[in-house]
Amino acid sequence: MCGIVAYTGSNQAFDFLIKGLQRLEYRGYDSAGIALLNGGLSVYKQKGKVQDLIELTKGKDVHGTTGMGHTRWATHGEPNQINAHPHVSQNGDLAVIHNGIIENYATLKEALLKRGHEFESDTDTEVLIHLIEDIRNHEGVDLLEAVRLALNEVVGAYAIVILSKNDPGTLIGARKGSPLVVGIGKDNEEFFMASDATPIVEYTRDVIYLEDNEIAHIANGELKVKTIQNVEKTPYIHKLEVTLEAIEKGGYEHFMLKEIYEQPKSIYDSMRGRFNKNDLTFAMRSLREYESKIKNLNRIIIVGCGTSWHAGLVGEYLIEEFARLPVEVEYASEFRYRDPIITEDDLVIAISQSGETADTLAALELAKEKGATIYGICNVVGSSIPRITHAGAYTHAGPEIGVASTKAFTAQVTVLTLIALGIAEIRGKITKERLRQVFAELEVLPEKVEHVLKNCADKVLEISERYKDAENFLYLGRGVNFPVALEGALKLKEISYIHAEGYPAAEMKHGPIALIDENMPVVVVAPKRGYYEKVLSNIQEVKARKGNIISIVTEGDDKVKSISDYAIEIPDTEDCLVPILATIPMQLLSYHIAVMRGCNVDQPRNLAKSVTVE
């Protein structure tokens, strides 16, 4: 869960490395460091953010046409300067940056200590570079072979890059379980490596995504790929489609705000070309190819973490409603360790923005091993989950850089809606008329999202100002809007550090109601459809205990409005699409409160965007 970046070519590496680290900072920001080859091996590293590293390197010699950089989310060892990457070998000739966890590092370290190695840091990563050096010295092999042999001894996950003082112009990268992209510059004049394509896209569109257990070796202007089993590979060169604008703030103060406002487009992109409302057909290849499987499914299991798990819960309501097929939604981290019962007639759907979340990936691998058909709903193209699934659908939301997930969630829910309808159609559980109605609403959804964004902006600012100092928040919703309440609460707590809980509205009286007093803001999703009267009663229960009601209501509904302290209106839509519209004001509320409290909304404390450790 760190960001790594590397360069070799005819230009100076430093600017690319710093800019690349800034683009990857969403992956972790406990410390940052770089190493440069310039006759010797210069390493600069610092606790804190990339900006702190920039300060550290001011006035220092940072020349060098080969180098690498790292931004860390701490796992082994506290976030300080010593534990920051790069780490160097015993004799100082080799350096490594690493994203992942070397699980057997303690055993390896013990053996190396016996052979006279001394360690500076508490990290698993330092052990790896000592091991490589040890193998090179004792086996008399070259660096590439030493790396290969060392990786055969390693248990765990890694994306690494290695530099050697005595091998100028050489980069060695390898991956297992953590992503590594290699960029190929024009005429092979320069090469890039990074955890994702964002640092690279400005320089080249030709990339290869390393597969697990592959090593990329760049030397003398040539790239070679082999496996750790020593099998040469011919890498497939992908063309990057992401644009530079998509990864820049484009005039917004924060990525999160930009991403919230991108939702009319990202939702449109997530459904574009996937259904035809005139002849009521689907153009989702992933469903069509598995038609016979879908017809015979016993059940669907959805796995995910955080926001993606919330999207899964929405999916459960939608699939059960439309396709009348049982759905279970599981935290990937729990599912993978509890020996779940899975059969060949199960479809296991993993939802993940990054496509790299370690727990989700492992849950999916387990389901595959047990014979289930596995399906991925991911945003990052070429990431690990889409590469191991039998089928899947990208959400096409575009790069999401703010750590708090926003447009990825609404795109996931959109795709899940299409999947629910598609499965329903394949299994003959939905009428043409009903399909027509939902398609018609889906088609105008981006406009309605646009409308919500415009209409609620001032009201949300006013509410944020009023409640920015609250210590607790409750979020309530019923049915398909219960996960929306969970998502609203997660969004607020992760970026503003206000304690917030989401509950099914009717569950409130079984405990949380004890928390309600005149200081408790309660956000209630109360659309005119669904369980309207029931939610109205729940609101009354809060009011009776002097709680403050912030309701999300259907335009024109004066009943809930009249008993709310604040009401935010959203346009009427199909029940199944309310979660998308209702989420938007909640995202804005979290955003504004966090900004008013002086929090770093794009990089909230202790979090990282892509959680590649369990």
Taking residues 11 to 30 in sequence order and writing x for each that binds ligand M6R by CB under 6 A, - otherwise, the string is --------------------
Q: Which of 307, 548, 564, 587 binds ligand M6R (CB under 6 A)?
A: 307
Which range touches ligand M6R (CB under 6 A), out of 303-311, 321-329, 464-472, 558-566?
303-311
What is the token pair recorded at 511? 């405990």
Q: Are 472 and 499 spatial neighbours (Cβ–Cβ below 8 Å)? A: yes
Task: Report the residue closest to ligand M6R, judged by CB.
Answer: 306
Site string for ligand M6R, 151-190 (x = CB under 6 A): ----------------------------------------
Cβ 407 to ligand M6R shortest distance, Å: 11
Verify binding: residue 584, ligand M6R, rule CB under 6 A: no
Report the 10 Å Cβ neighbour count for 8: 25
Residue 6 is encoded by which pair of tokens?
């590397």
- Do 263 and 453 form a contact (C-beta atoms < 8 A)? yes
105/261 with CB nearer ligand M6R? 261
State the nearest-atom distance from the C-beta of 582 to ligand M6R, in Å: 17
Cβ proximity to ligand M6R, 45 vs 254, nearer residue: 254
Q: Which range binds ligand M6R by CB under 6 A, 49-57, 119-127, 281-289, 605-613?
A: 605-613
Q: Could you identify the residue written with the tokens 């992109």?
A: 269
219: left (phi over 0), alpha (psi -120 to 50) or beta: beta
* Shortest CB 514 distance to ligand M6R, Å: 27
* Choice between 67 and 306, CB closer to ligand M6R: 306
Half-sphere exposure of 507 (CA within 13 A, CB side): 12
What residues act catalytically?
Answer: 2, 609
Site for ligand M6R in 501-530 (CB under 6 A): none
Q: Are 37 and 163 in contact (CB under 8 A)?
A: yes
- Please give, one letter per residue, the 3-state secondary structure of 485-518: HHHHHHHHHHHHCCEEEEEEHHHHHHCHHHHCCC
Instruction: Give me the least distance between CB of 355 and ligand M6R, in Å please.
Output: 7
Using CB under 6 A as the criterion, what x/- string covers residues 336-375 for binding ligand M6R? ----------------xxx--x--x---------------
Residue 305 near ligand M6R by CB under 6 A: yes
* By the rule CB under 6 A, 306 interacts with ligand M6R: yes
144, 403, 430, 535: which one contacts ligand M6R (CB under 6 A)? 403
Task: Return the SS3 of 392.
Answer: strand
Q: Site for ligand M6R (CB under 6 A): which residue of 93, 425, 494, 501?
A: 494
Residue 123 interacts with ligand M6R (CB under 6 A): yes or no: no
Strands 499-504, 94-102: parallel, antiparallel or unpaired by DSSP? Answer: unpaired
**198 touches ligand M6R (CB under 6 A):** no
Is 263 a binder of ligand M6R (CB under 6 A)? no
Interior CA angle at 390 toward 195 and 386, to 5°? Answer: 15
Q: Dihedral, CA atoms, 170, 176, 178, 183, nearest 10 degrees?
A: 40
Phi and psi torsions of 176, nearest 5°: -155, 110
Contact 385, 359 (CB under 8 A): no
Which C-beta is closer to ligand M6R: that of 388 or that of 607? 607
Radius of gyration of the chain (CA): 25
Minimum CB distance to ligand M6R, residue 604 (Å)? 8
Number of residues that bind ligand M6R (CB under 6 A): 17
Is residue 405 close enough to count as binding ligand M6R by CB under 6 A? yes
Residues 6+ apart with CB under 8 A from 550: 463, 467, 521, 522, 523, 524, 564, 565, 566, 567, 568, 589
Nearest-approach distance from CB 613 to ligand M6R, in angstroms = 11
CA-nearest of 575, 579, 542 to 560 is 542
DSSP 125: H
Q: Could you tell me the smallest distance in angstroms from the CB atom of residue 308 to ligand M6R?
A: 4
How far apart CA 343 and CA 371 sit, in angstroms, is: 6
From the list 341, 349, 607, 612, the residue with the least C-alpha distance to 494 is: 607
Question: Based on CB atoms, which residue is closest to ligand M6R, 492 or 560?
Answer: 492
Sequence-ordered strand ranges (E) for 73-221 = 87-88, 94-102, 156-164, 171-176, 181-184, 191-194, 206-209, 214-219
Judged by beta carbon, residue 435 or residue 588, the one nearer ligand M6R is: 588
Convert 172-186 into a string of H (helix), E (strand) and C (coil).
EEEEEECCCEEEECH
Can residue 400 be called a binding residue for ligand M6R (CB under 6 A)? no
Least CB distance from residue 168 to ligand M6R, whole Å?
37
CB of 273 to ligand M6R, least distance (A): 23
308 scored as a contact of ligand M6R (CB under 6 A): yes
Cβ-based nearer residue to ligand M6R, 22 or 357: 357
What's the closest the beta carbon of residue 141 comes to ligand M6R, in angstroms?
A: 38
Please pick, from the candidates 53, 127, 404, 498, the single residue that binds ligand M6R as defined by CB under 6 A: 404
* Binding stretches for ligand M6R (CB under 6 A): 305-308, 352-354, 357, 360, 403-405, 490, 494, 607, 610-611
